[in-house]
C-alpha cells in the first residue's frame, strides 16, 4: 500500500482551511440534495440513493466534515429549500420522516468516525460500517414514525420492510465503490 493510502485518514482531504472545508460541505450538501431527488425503480418501492450518499460521503469525509455537511443539509431543508425527497421546512422535519433525517445525521457521525478508522479500505469493513449506519437510521426513523402509525406491525410494514432490499443493494454497491476508490487513489498517488 502506498504512503498516501497508509497515512491518509479519509478519501476527502479539504485541508485545514475553513474556506476549503466550507466549500467541501456545500458540495457535499448538493450531493445529498441530488441523491434525495433521484429515484431508481426498485422493488417493492422506488429507491433514492440518499442513504448511499449519506453513509459513503461520511466515510470518505471523516466525522467532522460529515457532520458539518449533513448539518448544513438539514439547515437548508429547515429554511424551506427543496433539498429533501418530498418536502421542506420545519413542519416536514417534525413529521413522520424526521426521525430518519435525524438518524442520518447520527449515522454521518458514526460512519465518519469509522472512515477515519479505515473501515472503508476493505469490502467487509465497508459492509459492516454501512450496516451499522443503516441500523442507526432505522432506529431513529422507526422511533419517530411509530408516533404516527403506532408501534406494531404497521410500523414494520411502512417504515422498514419496503426499504430493506434497496438498502442491501446500496450496501453492496458501497462495498465495491469505497475500497475501489482507495485502490484508485493509491494507484494514482503511487
Query: Residue 101, CB half-sphere, CA atoms under 13 Å: how many?
Result: 28
Residue 19 to residue 122: CA distance in whole angstroms: 31
DSSP letter for 47, please. E
CA angle 97, 73, 144 (to 5 degrees): 20
DSSP letter for 3, please. H
Q: What domains can be seen in the chain, in order of their start residue?
A: 3-189 (1.10.1760.20)
What pLDDT does 62 receive? 96
The secondary structure element, H or E, covering residue 48 is: strand 47-48
What pLDDT does 188 receive? 84
What pLDDT does 47 receive? 85
Query: Residue 69, CB half-sphere, CA atoms under 13 Å: how many?
Result: 34
- How far from the centroid of its chain's Cα atoms is residue 75's Cα? 16
Residue 52 to residue 2: CA distance in whole angstroms: 27
Residue 128 to residue 110: CA distance in whole angstroms: 12
H helix runs in 62-163, sequence order:
63-78, 89-93, 98-116, 123-149, 153-159
pLDDT tens, N- to C-terminus, the chain (190 residues): 444 455 678 989 888 889 999 999 999 999 999 999 988 887 666 789 999 999 999 999 999 999 999 999 999 999 999 999 888 999 999 999 999 999 999 999 999 999 999 999 999 999 999 999 999 999 999 999 999 999 999 999 999 999 999 999 999 999 999 999 999 988 887 6
Tell me the whole-structure pTM to 2 decimals. 0.91
Name, in order, each residue with C-beta under 8 angstroms of 80's C-beta and a sequence gap of 6 or more: 88, 89
What pLDDT does 41 receive? 80
What are the backbone dihedrals phi and psi of residue 142, each rounded to the nearest 5 degrees, phi first?
A: -70, -35
Amino acid at each position: 500500500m502506498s504512503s498516501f493510502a497508509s497515512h491518509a485518514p479519509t478519501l476527502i482531504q479539504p485541508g485545514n482551511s475553513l474556506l476549503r472545508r466550507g466549500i467541501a460541505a456545500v458540495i457535499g450538501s448538493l450531493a445529498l440534495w441530488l441523491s434525495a431527488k433521484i429515484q431508481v425503480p426498485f422493488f417493492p418501492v422506488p429507491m433514492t440513493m440518499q442513504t448511499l450518499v449519506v453513509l459513503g460521503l461520511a466515510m470518505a469525509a471523516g466525522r467532522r466534515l460529515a457532520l458539518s455537511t449533513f448539518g448544513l443539509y438539514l439547515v437548508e431543508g429547515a429554511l424551506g429549500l427543496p433539498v429533501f425527497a418530498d418536502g421542506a421546512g420545519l413542519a416536514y422535519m417534525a413529521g413522520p420522516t424526521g426521525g430518519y433525517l435525524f438518524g442520518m445525521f447520527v449515522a454521518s457521525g458514526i460512519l465518519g468516525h469509522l472512515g477515519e478508522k479505515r473501515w472503508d479500505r476493505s469490502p467487509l469493513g465497508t459492509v459492516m460500517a454501512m450496516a451499522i449506519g443503516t441500523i442507526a437510521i432505522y432506529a431513529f426513523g422507526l422511533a419517530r414514525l411509530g408516533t404516527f402509525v403506532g408501534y406494531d406491525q404497521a410500523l414494520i410494514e411502512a417504515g422498514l420492510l419496503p426499504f430493506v432490499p434497496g438498502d442491501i443493494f446500496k450496501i453492496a454497491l458501497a462495498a465495491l465503490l469505497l475500497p475501489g476508490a482507495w485502490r484508485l487513489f493509491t494507484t494514482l498517488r503511487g
